[in-house]
Chain A
């Protein structure tokens, strides 16, 4: 039995080769700051953020389409708050709303059922954005739409799957030594999905929880594996993550959704990296499109490098200067789960 103090001592005094660990999930990035994890580990262990924010990788074309819907007569876009400020090629939803667009912020997709029923003359479009964690809820939403015979509520999907993105990063980015796998996604997918990745790429894939102790334990396991020249999947979040995942959630997602290639903002098209409504349910889709999107990326913005783990946000020349949460230039600064936004809030970008 190893104690927390021993874990802390070992991580602080680690003096082996430099290790670069990607934490895939934005909630991990937040928790690393909230617990002061960097101050507890050796500078030889570098933590870098990954593509774990669905808002950040949603294409400009998708935002454009939401904006278009919001400006149509008798049409209303329903969305989570995070999506409001992300720029499309012309406007964000916040700006669309200010110019007369109809946009409402919801906290739960299922509350859109009641809204649609009470406003039968309005066509509602739900901005279905998310990773594997959120898709089961959209599946439930479709089930409710069908059950209640609701005709005025559709979804516009940008539902990414994280596992193909991790493969993409492993194929293209050589200097990442290990992955702290996304905890929430793993609850749904199960930890077994990382077995093949660990084997194929010879890298540790460790599933960890979100408390400070969980994160330290996961980093400790990664350091242990690398020091012993091991590279396997290890589930350190067994209270929440099983080997097979949440079967019910996987089942209902498969019932309504199937896999598709999709465009990731800042990255490009990744094969089989998203979910779309199955052809038999296409009537509930508000025109989702998965083609390559044209991005008017602002000059100097290095969100792509941030998402792919090439740099930490502070290394972007715009970070904290022209790009701040109050005037976000790149998508990673906009969202509460975006790496730049989290870094800014925590390293004191204004100082």
Chain B
């Protein structure tokens, strides 16, 4: 069955779409009331509040689909502020011609990941527009701040930088699908709630957290340097990168430092807590390959000590990381 313009009419077909797909997959007592707005009565203290839109092609890829990143993206942005994610909203913009089964599968994935991340999708919206079967999702979310002061501006000289796992997996999985290259590389799309919970439970005084999405680790570290007015030093030998992704990058001329992930983060923590923090991340779901990759130093740029012990300045990403032609 395909979506046509009548599904956006607000009438019977719209209501079928809501009942058969969204209520079924997102199922919770707040959404089920179908009020004009969700009423939330158990929020304590300060809240973190964010939104993100998702336009990925292809919609399905090895290790996930647009639904998984729509939930993980917003959940992770909340987590990075030291918040416990609580509630999400989801807005769908669907082009006519999209398969209803596809939307159902995307919503099913969203429901599963929301459950894993312990968040409820409490409000939603659907619009149908002319087009060729594309699907776009916006999610917003709120979370309760569990640790104050976590900020991109809060890194201190001497802090260590923990990276939660392998670089580049999501980017490589998407590129592989687009280029019809067969391999076993899976997107790393995942909620980072377990890692953050473990850090907080271990009483780590987290100075800064950032998830590594578009622009890659290089861009995140440059944001750290410019906002915290500090230098960053990392060590090439300590960067976790899978052999498959490394090989894929070599063939296409990509640099893992600039590739996107959807389930990786850095945590910047005081040096005297480094070992406990690393252990806490490694014990978490999605954190077993975590590494201390560097530290905060004097200066204002991001510098990498290469495997050959040379110095390389790491700048932010300019333009797209397109494959080379020669």
A residues near B, CB below 8 A? 4, 8, 26-27, 30, 33-40, 52-55, 80-83, 85, 105, 107-108, 111, 129-131, 133-134, 184, 212-213, 216, 324-326, 336-337, 341, 344-351
In the complex, B306 has a CB within 8 A of chain A: yes
Q: How far is the CB of A45 from chain B (nearest CB, A)?
A: 14
Q: How far is the CB of B218 from chain A (nearest CB, A)?
A: 9
Q: Report yes or no: A53 in contact with B310, Cβ–Cβ below 8 A.
A: no
Q: When A35-B312, A130-B325, A212-B307 are in contact, do A351 and B319 touch as well, CB less than 8 Å?
A: no
Chain B interface mostly helix, strand, loop or mixed? loop
Q: Report yes or no: A36 in contact with B315, Cβ–Cβ below 8 A.
A: no
Q: Report yes or no: B255 in contact with A34, Cβ–Cβ below 8 A.
A: yes
Kindly state the separation between the CA atoms of A36 and B318 in the bound complex, as whole angstroms. Answer: 20
Q: Report yes or no: B307 in contact with A54, Cβ–Cβ below 8 A.
A: no
Q: When A108-B179, A324-B318, A351-B301 are in contact, do A35 and B324 touch as well, CB less than 8 Å?
A: no
Q: How far is the CB of A50 from chain B (nearest CB, A)?
A: 13
Q: Report yes or no: B308 in contact with A213, Cβ–Cβ below 8 A.
A: yes
Most buried by B among A8, A81, A324: A81
Q: How far is the CB of B243 from chain A (nearest CB, A)?
A: 15
Contact sample, A vs B, 10 pairs, CB 8 Å cutoff: A8-B308, A34-B255, A34-B306, A36-B309, A37-B308, A81-B322, A325-B319, A336-B324, A344-B318, A347-B313
Residue among B179, B315, B326 making CB contact with A26, cutoff 8 Å: B326
Q: How far is the CB of A286 from chain B (nearest CB, A)?
A: 18
Residue among B301, B308, B311, B326 making CB contact with A54, cutoff 8 Å: B326
In the complex, B323 has a CB within 8 A of chain A: yes
Give chain A residues whose Cβ lies under 8 Å from the Cβ of B300. Answer: 351
Give chain B residues whose Cβ lies under 8 Å from the Cβ of A83. Answer: 325
Kindly state the separation between the CA atoms of A37 and B308 in the bound complex, as whole angstroms. Answer: 8
| Total residues of chain B contacting the partner, CB 8 A | 26
Q: Report yes or no: A336 in contact with B253, Cβ–Cβ below 8 A.
A: yes
Q: Report yes or no: A212 in contact with B308, Cβ–Cβ below 8 A.
A: yes
In the complex, B36 has a CB within 8 A of chain A: no
Kindly state the separation between the CA atoms of A134 and B324 in the bound complex, as whole angstroms. Answer: 11
Q: Report yes or no: A134 in contact with B306, Cβ–Cβ below 8 A.
A: no
In the complex, B320 has a CB within 8 A of chain A: yes
Q: When A35-B310, A35-B312, A107-B179 are in contact, do A134 and B319 touch as well, CB less than 8 Å?
A: no
Q: When A324-B318, A325-B319, A348-B301 are in contact, do A36 and B312 touch as well, CB less than 8 Å?
A: yes
Q: Report yes or no: A82 in contact with B322, Cβ–Cβ below 8 A.
A: yes
Kindly state the separation between the CA atoms of A97 and B181 in the bound complex, as whole angstroms. Answer: 27
Q: Report yes or no: B309 in contact with A54, Cβ–Cβ below 8 A.
A: no
Instruction: Name the CB-closest residue of A to B181.
Output: A107
Give chain A residues whose Cβ lies under 8 Å from the Cβ of B318. Answer: 324-326, 341, 344-345
- Interface code B289-319, partner A: CB below 8 Å = 1, 0 otherwise? 0000000000011001111111111010011
Q: Report yes or no: A36 in contact with B253, Cβ–Cβ below 8 A.
A: no
Kindly state the separation between the CA atoms of A344 and B319 in the bound complex, as whole angstroms. Answer: 12
Kindly state the separation between the CA atoms of A4 and B308 in the bound complex, as whole angstroms. Answer: 9
Q: Report yes or no: A184 in contact with B310, Cβ–Cβ below 8 A.
A: no
Give chain A residues whose Cβ lies under 8 Å from the Cβ of B319. Answer: 85, 325-326, 336
Q: Report yes or no: A36 in contact with B325, Cβ–Cβ below 8 A.
A: no
Give chain A residues whose Cβ lies under 8 Å from the Cβ of B313. Answer: 346-348
Most buried by B among A33, A216, A326, A347: A33
Q: How far is the CB of B124 from chain A (nearest CB, A)?
A: 34
Q: Report yes or no: B326 in contact with A37, Cβ–Cβ below 8 A.
A: no
Q: Report yes or no: A36 in contact with B326, Cβ–Cβ below 8 A.
A: no
Give chain A residues whose Cβ lies under 8 Å from the Cβ of B308. Answer: 4, 8, 35-37, 40, 212-213, 216
Instruction: Name the CB-closest residue of A to B318.
Output: A325
Q: Report yes or no: A27 in contact with B324, Cβ–Cβ below 8 A.
A: yes
Give chain A residues whose Cβ lies under 8 Å from the Cβ of B304. Answer: 36
Kindly state the separation between the CA atoms of A82 and B320 in the bound complex, as whole angstroms. Answer: 10
Kindly state the separation between the CA atoms of A54 and B325 in the bound complex, as whole angstroms. Answer: 8
